Amino acid sequence: MEDVTPILAPDDPRRQIRCPKDDARDPDLTGHRLSLARIAEAAQSITPAFLGSPQLRCGPLSELAGCDVTWKIETINPIRSFKGRGADYFVAKAVEAGERGPLACASAGNFGHAMAYACRARGLA
């Protein structure tokens, strides 16, 4: 068990994902960070049907891995995919910024389905 990395506390600064500091395209990388505050802000905009997906501990995989392995069930939301959260957030922000459509998406997969759902739900269909 000494090889297991402990879960970081919610306020631990190492939880934030940062872009490399030498990225010449954008010297101010503060807009490219994933943080709990930004996740909480996004959760306020996302349709509730995409929030609260159940998580279940998988006993056999946990035993095999030597740590808790959790499955997140994404098949109970309207499009049966986690892509709905990102698409819904994107469309919510577009509408908030004054976008009135139409929006286009170069995907026939889950993200395309999610964009169609979000646009229709937010009046951009």
34-60: pLDDT as tens digits: 788 888 888 899 999 998 888 899 999
CA distance linking residue 83 with residue 25, whole number of Å: 27
- 44 — phi, psi (to 5°)? -70, -25
How high is the pLDDT of residue 86?
A: 92
Q: Which residues, in sequence order, are CB contacts of 114 under 8 Å at separation 6+?
A: 79, 81, 83, 84, 86, 87, 88
Instruction: Please tell me the predicted confidence (pLDDT) of residue 108.
Output: 87
The better pLDDT of the pair 5, 97 is held by: 97
Domain boundaries, the chain: 30-121
Instruction: Tell me which DSSP letter residue 46 carries.
Output: S
- What confidence tens digit (pLDDT) does each residue in 82-104 have? 999 999 999 999 999 998 878 88
Mean pLDDT, rounded, of the chain: 80
Query: What is the predicted pLDDT for the residue at 13?
Result: 64
Does residue 25 carry a pLDDT above 90?
Answer: no
pLDDT at 99: 85
